[in-house]
Amino acid sequence: MVTKTPLELAELSPEQRRQYVREEEASVFGPNPLRDRDGRPIEQGVGSASQPTHNHVAALKRWYDGPDRDEVIAAAEAALNRYEDCRRRGVPYVPEK
């Protein structure tokens, strides 16, 4: 699938645009993604907010240089620690918003 530009999307009929969005979401999130209450697909799988990884934290430490660097890294480490704690205890992990 090729991502369309805003100009290309503007040329599509409303039904074609809906079909395009459905196909693009399926290619990114899978055929039947979970959705939030606003209808947006929810990221799942390793590396998503619901399954943080050590690699994500390591990448932030190495590459992220925003003005809020320390806060972002601390939040990612805290989320990873909460996730690992939940896995050890065998309870579901729910990421904080």
What the block records as the tokens of 77 is 């480490």
Beta carbons within 10 angstroms of residue 95's beta carbon:
12
Q: Which two tokens stand for residue 9?
A: 């999307």
* 76 neighbors 60 (Cβ within 8 angstroms): yes
What are the pLDDT digits (tens) for 37-49?
Answer: 999 888 888 888 8
Q: For the chain, what is the mean pLDDT?
A: 91
Q: What's the mean pLDDT in 19-48?
A: 88
Q: How confident is the model at residue 29 (pLDDT cuts 50, 70, 90)?
A: confident
- CA distances to 42, 77, 92 from 74, rounded to whole Å, are 23, 5, 22
Instruction: Domain ranges for the chain, please list them.
Output: 1-42, 44-97
Helices (H), the chain: 6-10, 14-29, 54-63, 69-89
Percent of the chain with pLDDT strictly greater than 90: 62
pTM above 0.95, yes or no: no
